[in-house]
Structure 1
Amino acid sequence: MRIISGKYKGRRIFPPKGLPVRPTTDMSKEALFNVLNNHFSFEGLKILDLFAGTGNISYEFASRGSTPITSVDGDFGCVKFIKQVAAEYDFNIAATKSDVFMYLERCKTSYDIIFADPPYALDQKTFEKIILLVFEKELLNEDGMMVIEHSKYTKLDHMTHFSFQKSYGGSIFSFFEIGSGDSEDAENESEQNEGEEE
């Protein structure tokens, strides 16, 4: 696993074997941050990383100066590893062991960017529940953005607050914003981006 930009660009991080994860590939990660770079200056952004796994995405935000960062995962080994890396690099990352849905239900904080990378095998309704909870609980700041990584078999472009999506190889990133939600506009934007690969 490699940090692709920021203060620690090029630094390799080696998670232990056996963690129940499917890390975002470097190609997809670079494409994701290219999109986010068009919308944000990362310095000081408040980040929530759901289904954080090895902390791959959290480290990218931290390397770019985002702080504070909250990384949530239900696996003890993943949380332990994120804490170790955060301590080693002095990243302002709070790693929390929790069921993601329970965390969202209890959360009282709002964020500038919320990233979620659930297991691709989760069903459609479960992916939708993440979006519904974030917006019902008002966990996204006014000019913030939520990103969900999923496979082509999961469709999220019908959801309220859907803005656009980008496709890279076998992964799709769906983006959600408070000001979005017109279904016709969302459908047109989705069609324009469908099939984009790098």
Structure 2
Amino acid sequence: MLMFKNKFFMGILAIIVFVGIIVIFYNSMDVDYVKAGGGIVEGLESDLNMYLREKNLEEKRKIAIKIEESINKIADVSYEYLARFYLARSTYFQSKGLYKEALDDLNIVIRSGRIERELAYVNKAVIYEKMGQMEDALLVYDNVINQTKLDFIKIRALLSKALLIEDRDKSLAIEIYEQVSNFSYENNLYVNFAKNKLWYLK
């Protein structure tokens, strides 16, 4: 289960890429500045994905240097990309065990009111889990499940909740896995995982 949770979080991180396809109309903005700021964040996200997957400690150290160089360029990040910047930086902080700093960054994203706040809530619950604050994590997952209009965010929150409660409330976990398995995604990693869990638990 721990192995899945690690892969599960890495999968959640990949949602950041989704934000990159959102069309943003820049009104009275310096387009070159926006592009430059976006390049920094996209580079940070790319390096972060490699960092989380890398097993070799020396290679991981080299990637960390690049990540920290990007983090130090925050002054050059345009406003449109700041939420993504803080979202990525919070994930890096989390990977280093700097949970307070990670939560601070996620709260900035949440207050921004931008679409990234949906993912920030899920990541916040993940950090609460790592801190051993399971009830706080469940509360956040429930809020996301009840409020988000984005199915892919709801699925991830539902699965995280099911994994968290499975040992103490098998019946509720099964209900959640059944709910996820009914989403209309074909060959989706998370839907398939829910179906496999149902087969295992029943």
Per residue, is there more strand in 1 or in 2? Answer: 1
Q: Do these two structures clear the TM 0.5 threshold for a shared fold by scoring above it?
A: no
Shorter-chain TM band: 0.3 to 0.5
TM-score (norm 1): 0.34
The structure having more radius of gyration, on CA atoms, is 2
TM-score (norm 2): 0.33
Per residue, is there more helix in 1 or in 2? Answer: 2
